[in-house]
Chains A and B, each alone.
Chain A
Amino acid sequence: MNTESNTQPVIEARQLDLVFQTNDGPVQALRDVNLTVNKGDFVSFIGPSGCGKTTFLRCVAALETPTGGSLSVNGMTPDEARRNRAYGYVFQAAGLYPWRTIAKNIKLPLEIMGYSRDEQEERVRKVLELVDLKGFGEKFPWQLSGGMQQRASIARALAFDADILLMDEPFGALDEIVRDHLNEQLLALWARTEKTIGFVTHSIPEAVYLSTKIVVMSPRPGRITDVIDSPLPKERPLDIRDTPEFIEVAHRVREGLRAGHLDD
Chain B
Amino acid sequence: MKQVLAVLAVVAAIVAIWYAACIPMNIKGVLTEVERAGAEVVPAGAKERRDMNEFALAARNSFAIPATWAQDRPRLPAPHQVVAELWETTVKKKITSKRSLVYHGWVTLSATILGFAIGTGLGILLAVGIVHSRVMDMSVMPWAIVSQTIPIIALAPMIIVVLYSVGVQGIIPKAVISAYLSFFPVVVGMVKGLRSPDMMQLDLLRTYNATNAQRFWKLRLPASMPYLFASLKIGIAASLVGAIVGELPTGAVAGLGARLLAGSYYGQTVQIWSALFAAAILAACLVGLLGLIERVVLKRMGMAQ
Decide if A75 is an interface residue (CB 8 Å cutoff). no
Q: B-facing mask of A83-112, CB < 8 A → 1, else 0? A: 101011101110101111100000011011
Secondary structure type dominating chain B contacts: helix
- How far apart are the CA atoms of A85 and B209 in the complex, in Å? 7
Report which of A85, A91, A95, A101 forms a contact with B208, defined as CB distance below 8 A. Answer: A85
- How far apart are the CA atoms of A113 and B22 in the complex, in Å? 71
Q: B-facing mask of A224-240, CB < 8 A → 1, else 0? A: 00000000000000000
Q: How many B residues have CB within 8 A of the partner chain?
A: 20
- Note all chain A residues with C-beta closer than 8 A to B218: 108, 111-112
Interface segment among B68-76, B198-206, B234-242: the answer is B198-206
- How far apart are the CA atoms of A164 and B231 in the complex, in Å? 43
Decide if A241 is an interface residue (CB 8 Å cutoff). no
- How far apart are the CA atoms of A88 and B208 in the complex, in Å? 8
Q: Residue on A with the closest CB to B214?
A: A112
Decide if A20 is an interface residue (CB 8 Å cutoff). no
Q: Residue on B with the closest CB to A162?
A: B207
Q: B-facing mask of A105-130, CB < 8 A → 1, else 0? A: 00011011100000000000000000
On whether the beta carbons of A99 and B204 are closer than 8 Å, the reply is no
On whether the beta carbons of B302 and A140 are closer than 8 Å, the reply is yes
- How far apart are the CA atoms of A88 and B204 in the complex, in Å? 9
- Note all chain A residues with C-beta closer than 8 A to B204: 89, 91, 95
Contact A112 to B303, CB < 8 A, known contacts A91-B203, A97-B222, A99-B222 = no
Decide if A202 is an interface residue (CB 8 Å cutoff). no
Q: Residue on B with the closest CB to A141?
A: B302
On whether the beta carbons of B302 and A93 are closer than 8 Å, the reply is no
Q: Residue on A with the closest CB to B219?
A: A97
On whether the beta carbons of A95 and B210 are closer than 8 Å, the reply is no
Decide if B225 is an interface residue (CB 8 Å cutoff). yes
| Shortest distance from the beta carbon of A171 to any chain B beta carbon, whole Å | 16
Decide if A155 is an interface residue (CB 8 Å cutoff). no
- Note all chain A residues with C-beta closer than 8 A to B219: 97
- How far apart are the CA atoms of A34 and B110 in the complex, in Å? 70
- How far apart are the CA atoms of A63 and B203 in the complex, in Å? 7
| Shortest distance from the beta carbon of B121 to any chain A beta carbon, whole Å | 22
Decide if B305 is an interface residue (CB 8 Å cutoff). yes
Binding site for A on B (CB under 8 A): 200-201, 203-210, 214, 218-219, 222-223, 225, 301-303, 305
10 nearest A-B pairs in the assembled complex, by CB-CB distance: A140-B302, A99-B301, A89-B207, A109-B208, A112-B210, A112-B208, A99-B222, A91-B200, A83-B209, A99-B303
Binding site for B on A (CB under 8 A): 61, 63, 82-83, 85, 87-89, 91-93, 95, 97-101, 108-109, 111-113, 140, 142
